[in-house]
Amino acid sequence: MENIVIKTEVPGPKSREIAQKREKYVASTLDSLAPFYIAKGEGAVIEDVDGNKFLDFTGGWGCLVVGYSPKTVVDAVKEQVENYIHTDFTATPYEPYAELAKMIVEKTPGNFEKQVIFLNSGAEAVENAVKIARGATRRKGVIVFDKAFHGRTLLTMTMTHRAMPYKYNFGTASDVYRLPSPNPHRNKYTPHDFERLLLDTAYPEDVAAVVIEPVQGEGGFNVPPQEFIEEIRRVTEKYGILFVADEVQSGYGRTGKFFAIENWGVAPDLITLGKSIAAGFPLSAVVGNKKYFDALPKGSIGSTFGGNPVACAAGIEVIKMIDEQKLLDRAIQLGKIIRKRFDEMQKKYPVIKEIRGIGAMCAIEFIKDREKWEPDPDTCGKVIQESLKNGLLLAGAGLHKNIIRLLVPLVITEEQLNEGLDVLDRAIETVTKA
Ligand SMILES: Cc1ncc(COP(=O)(O)O)c(C=O)c1O
């Protein structure tokens, strides 16, 4: 497949026709980045229904670490579909569930016995991690951090930081406490303030879990200092609180480690997974210390479609691909290219204040001027639109919508990556000169 090729105006005639159906029948609250409709995807390239080709650096909001429709996944899924599509593991169990659980456990840090439960969405994984923590500790409190994103169900929406649009008149769940995380530009808070802030905010004997994204996704790829994660581990152990790493976005390879939390050398009690783990099939998971699963009554957690056999068959192939194609090394290699290009852009464009992330999980932050930390969502939004016009899909991020984060499939070629980064570079130039 070629990379960017724009043959018609965008959206083209076929996309516009589909858009009419959408406008009439699809919930108007849904908002799409692309104005066109996809016909096919391969690796990091999308072809739309009018034959235009785009590079996709959003990977379906981070769900395509292994790219669009890799052959081994497609073959495994076809075979699985022909055998059986669904049973519900709690009605009639099947091997792909157990096999994928085994493969994930073998990758999970921590010198203790681990187990896995599969669910459907990232939010459902986070909800269940909280339920496991509450059930096992018989406590209610959940500690989360500023700029966090944990999902959009009632509990996870409460755990998510950003109010608009996520919390619009939707009410809240109880027993969720938000703490700041260290940010050298915005607060003087040091990692060692964590225990004091926790004690100021909640009665620790009532706290079930501290939930943290090792690298924040929607929050803009913020990377906490080593001592902060170590401090969370120390304090959670001290007070019998579970350390839950939400790896729905950072998990499986993007940072050059299988789990992002491995970059800190810390083993959480539970890890939540989602997005990329089944190449785009709706599958999520909680993996963690067996003793916490053992603390719950049988049947107390679960989900009809959680761990669907087709999704598990895809999930098995994803891990095989990561291993066989050495995608962790690839994430580091891609990250080096991205960093170098971002550094060059930062030198050219004063509007880029900061570059951050680990491995291929890299982001740039737009700020109105380099002395002040005033976010520049306007420039950021225009750069995303200008890039789109020129064939590149980019994901925005940040509490203030002033960050561009790269969620490229790790199977992207260097040529495609550089082509996309050229588009981004030119887009920043065009927007900042205008
Ligand atoms: C870190 C994190 N947790 C949870 C979620 C929620 O996942 P889902 O949208 O699949 O419910 C997301 C989604 O972006 C996420 O990035």
Query: What distance in Å separates the CA atoms of residue 148 and residue 38, rounded to the nearest whole number?
Result: 30
Query: What distance in Å separates the CA atoms of residue 244 and residue 129, rounded to the nearest whole number?
Result: 7
Q: What angle do CA 185, 358, 354 make, to 5 degrees?
A: 35
Q: Is the pLDDT of residue 190 over 90?
A: no
Q: Is the pLDDT of residue 184 over 80?
A: no
CA distance to 261, 291, 309, 359, per residue, from 249 (Å): 12, 26, 22, 14
The response to whether residue 214 sits with its C-beta less than 6 Å from ligand 1 reads: no
The residue behind tokens 């803009």 is: 220
Contact status, residue 339 vs residue 362, Cβ threshold 8 Å: yes
The response to whether residue 236 sits with its C-beta less than 6 Å from ligand 1 reads: no
As a whole-number percent, the residues of the chain with pLDDT over 90 amount to 94
Query: What distance in Å separates the CA atoms of residue 159 and residue 146, rounded to the nearest whole number?
Result: 9
The response to whether residue 251 sits with its C-beta less than 6 Å from ligand 1 reads: no
The residue nearest atom 3 of ligand 1, judged by CA position, is 150
- Taking the CA of residue 246 as reference, the ligand 1 atom at the shortest distance is 1
How many Å separate Cα 293 from the centre of its chain?
Answer: 25
- Taking the CA of residue 217 as reference, the ligand 1 atom at the shortest distance is 16
pLDDT per position as a tens digit, 267-284? 999 999 999 999 999 999
Contact status, residue 160 vs residue 149, Cβ threshold 8 Å: yes
- Mean local confidence (pLDDT), 96-120: 98
- Mean local confidence (pLDDT), 419-429: 98
pLDDT per position as a tens digit, 54-75? 999 999 999 999 999 999 999 9
Contact status, residue 245 vs residue 259, Cβ threshold 8 Å: yes
The residue nearest atom 7 of ligand 1, judged by CA position, is 122
CA distance to 14, 283, 423, per residue, from 3 (Å): 20, 29, 12
The residue nearest atom 16 of ligand 1, judged by CA position, is 249
The response to whether residue 204 sits with its C-beta less than 6 Å from ligand 1 reads: no
Cα of 117 from ligand 1 centre, angstroms = 17
Kindly state the tokens that stand for 186. 């915005």
Which of the four pLDDT bands, split at 50, 70 and 90, describes residue 181? confident
Q: Are strands 403-405 and 395-397 parallel, antiparallel or unpaired?
A: antiparallel
pLDDT of residue 1: 54
Q: Is the pLDDT of residue 214 over 70?
A: yes
The C-alpha R_g of the chain, in whole angstroms, comes to 21
Residue of 160, 248, 277, 281 to mutate, ligand 1, most atoms within 8 A of C-beta? 248
- Mean local confidence (pLDDT), 301-325: 98
Q: Is the pLDDT of residue 186 over 90?
A: no
pLDDT higher at 186 or 259: 259
| φ and ψ at residue 425, rounded to 5 degrees | -55, -50
118: helix, strand or coil: strand
Q: DSSP letter for 297, please.
A: P
Q: Is the pLDDT of residue 183 over 80?
A: no
Query: What distance in Å separates the CA atoms of residue 308 and residue 261, rounded to the nearest whole number?
Result: 27
| φ and ψ at residue 176, rounded to 5 degrees | -110, 125
- Mean local confidence (pLDDT), 40-49: 97
The response to whether residue 123 sits with its C-beta less than 6 Å from ligand 1 reads: yes
Cα of 46 from ligand 1 centre, angstroms = 23
pLDDT of residue 182: 79
Which of the four pLDDT bands, split at 50, 70 and 90, describes residue 185? low
The response to whether residue 274 sits with its C-beta less than 6 Å from ligand 1 reads: yes
Q: What angle do CA 132, 136, 139 make, to 5 degrees?
A: 95
Which of the four pLDDT bands, split at 50, 70 and 90, describes residue 369? confident
Give me the helices (H) in 211-266, please: 226-239
pTM, 2 dp: 0.97
- Taking the CA of residue 120 as reference, the ligand 1 atom at the shortest distance is 10
Which of the four pLDDT bands, split at 50, 70 and 90, describes residue 191? confident
The response to whether residue 218 sits with its C-beta less than 6 Å from ligand 1 reads: yes
Cα of 246 from ligand 1 centre, angstroms = 9
Residue of 121, 275, 303 to mutate, ligand 1, most atoms within 8 A of C-beta? 275
pLDDT of residue 434: 81
Q: Is the pLDDT of residue 373 over 90?
A: no
pLDDT of residue 51: 97
